Amino acid sequence: MNFTYKQIWLINFPVMMSILIEQLINITDAIFLGHYGEVELGAAALAGMYYLAIYMLGFGFSLGLQVMVGRRNGEGNYNETGKVFFQGLFFLIVLAGSMFVMSWLFSPALLSELITSEEVYEAVIKYLDWRTFGLLFTFPALAFRAFFVGITKTRILTTGAVVMVITNIVLNYLLIFGNFGFPRLGISGAALASTISELSFLIVLVVYVCRKIDKRYYGLRPVYDWQLQLRLFKLSVWSMMYSFTAVAPWFLFFVVIEHLGEEQLAIANIVRSISTVFFVIVCSFSTTTGSLVSNLIGAGEYRNIMPLCRKMMSLSYMLGIPLLVFTFLFSDEVLGIYTKNQELIRSAFWPFVVMLSNYFLSVPAHIYCNAVTGTGRTRTAFVFELITILIYLVYLFLVLVQFDVPLMVYWTAELLYVFMLFVLTYGYMKVRYFKIYAPEV
């Protein structure tokens, strides 16, 4: 089993499209809210990162689920993939309910301690009041996505994501501004639109499994196996912690920026929103790397792991660098999509440039990190992430916050983060290259 560039692209493209179109929810929210109000634009950044931190717990579990499904698929043990899928689905449904309740109970008190602006705080709470309902839909959808990526049949993800983003755009237009007789809900409308769009994505995946997938071939029947559930949890708990710790500092980053003022927070949200386009490329290729590495190990093809990583990086750069150059050359036009305020556009330029430079190290850092995860070494990946995050937070709070530095300098924390992650994960994979073995998953 030696994946060619064409095979990798055909597997990755639907994953990339699904992630891109999912991220378009955040992008379109920012675009619409940017034309609604500066406070709402900034608040959406804080609320969005808070929601994303919770979401990443489910996403991290789905990475472990994806690894186990991919391993069974690589072994040719296809009828076990469905059994693994259902254990993951059961867990994610329970986790979604738990996180929903905890968010409703504790978020207002927590956020009131972190946010200084009363206007921003009220807007954040209005957003989360509706947005947290999305957890009940997006967590189960993560189980379906892990299943499709694990068996390398990913086309339906594109279809579902297209339905989701169209739903979000239409509802944003109707609910944020109150067009065509709908109520003018502002930031609450953006949250409600995003939640309904996530429900539409889940419906598409469920209908596809029910009507198109050979359920007998993949063993898709709802059987609960507590021993398998325990093994899956042991594998996934580290990727859950890894994914959460990868995003939680971003929320703290925006909390720090909020203390600089509402305008700086709005600029940071614009830059973050644009960065998600490049994040999609990195995330899709790194996520696919984890799945394919797991398939290679299942097939006993350890020697092809590092060549696969190099192919993943080559494809990421081939796709991302031209887009990066284009975005830089037309920076005013790109930033102008979010706001007509020329002062905001001028102030956003240098943070925007620093953000773009981050792509070059993000590609190898996340690809090698997901390769570590794909080998089943989820705890090792978490330890690397934890070390990197600690360095990131020390730099953010003990260096940057102590000095009166411009917003541009704050974004160098991201450069430090991906550099350290790359050093740790690449070094580990090089040392383990001839020693990788397949743990029991």
The band of 129, judged by pLDDT with boundaries at 50, 70 and 90, is very high
181 lies in some domain: yes
Domain contains 230 = yes
Instruction: Please give the residue that has the higher pLDDT: either 139 or 116.
Output: 139
What is the number of residues in the chain? 441
pLDDT in the model for residue 426: 93
Locate 189 and state its tokens.
């409308």
The verdict on residue 440 lying in a domain is: no
Q: How many CB atoms lie within 10 A of CB 219?
A: 18
Read off the pLDDT band of 293 (50, 70, 90).
Answer: confident
Question: Which residues form the domain of 190?
Answer: 5-432
* pLDDT of 434 over the 60 cut: no
Sign of the Cα pseudo-torsion (371, 376, 382, 384, in order):
negative
Any domain includes 438: no
What is the residue-wise DSSP string for 127-170? HHHHHGGGHHHHHHHHHHHHHHHHTT--HHHHHHHHHHHHHHHH
pLDDT in tens, 350-384: 988 998 999 999 999 999 998 988 887 878 888 89
Q: What is the mean pLDDT of residues 159-174?
A: 90
Q: Is 306 helix (H, G, I), strand (E, B) or coil?
A: helix
Domain presence at residue 139 = yes
* 3-class SS shares of the chain: helix, strand, coil, % to 5: 85, 0, 15
The pLDDT mean for the chain works out to 86
* Digit-coded pLDDT (tens) for 327-350: 999 998 888 888 778 888 888 899
pLDDT tens-digit profile of 236-291?
A: 888 788 778 877 787 888 888 888 887 888 888 788 888 888 888 998 899 889 88
| Domain count along the chain | 1
Q: Is residue 144 a contact partner of residue 151, using CB atoms and an 8 Å limit?
A: no
Burial class (CB in 10 A: 0-12, 13-18, 19+), 234: middle
- Segment 148-153 mean pLDDT: 83
Predicted structure pTM score: 0.76
Q: How confident is the model at residue 440 (pLDDT cuts 50, 70, 90)?
A: very low
287 vs 281: CA distance, rounded Å:
10
What's the confidence (pLDDT) of residue 18?
67
**DSSP letter string, 338-360:** T---HHHHHHHHHHHHHHHHTHH
CA–CA dist 178, 102 (Å, integer): 31
| Closest to 48 in 3D by CA, of 251, 189, 231 | 251
Is 206 a member of any domain?
A: yes
Task: Report the distance separating Cα 86 and Cα 362, nearest Å.
Answer: 33
Question: Residue 250 domain-assigned?
Answer: yes
Output the pLDDT for position 22: 65
Among candidate residues 124, 134, 103, 132, the one with its CA nearest the CA of residue 43: 124
**pLDDT confidence of residue 363:** 95
19 CB-contact burial (10 Å; exposed 0-12 / middle 13-18 / buried 19+): buried
Is 439 domain-assigned? Answer: no
* CA neighbours closer than 13 Å in the CB half-sphere of residue 122: 5
Helices and strands (H, E) in the chain, number of each type: 16, 0
Q: How many other C-beta atoms lie within 10 A of the C-beta of residue 243?
A: 27
Q: What is the pLDDT of residue 438?
A: 46
pLDDT tens per residue across span 408-433: 888 898 899 999 999 999 999 888 65
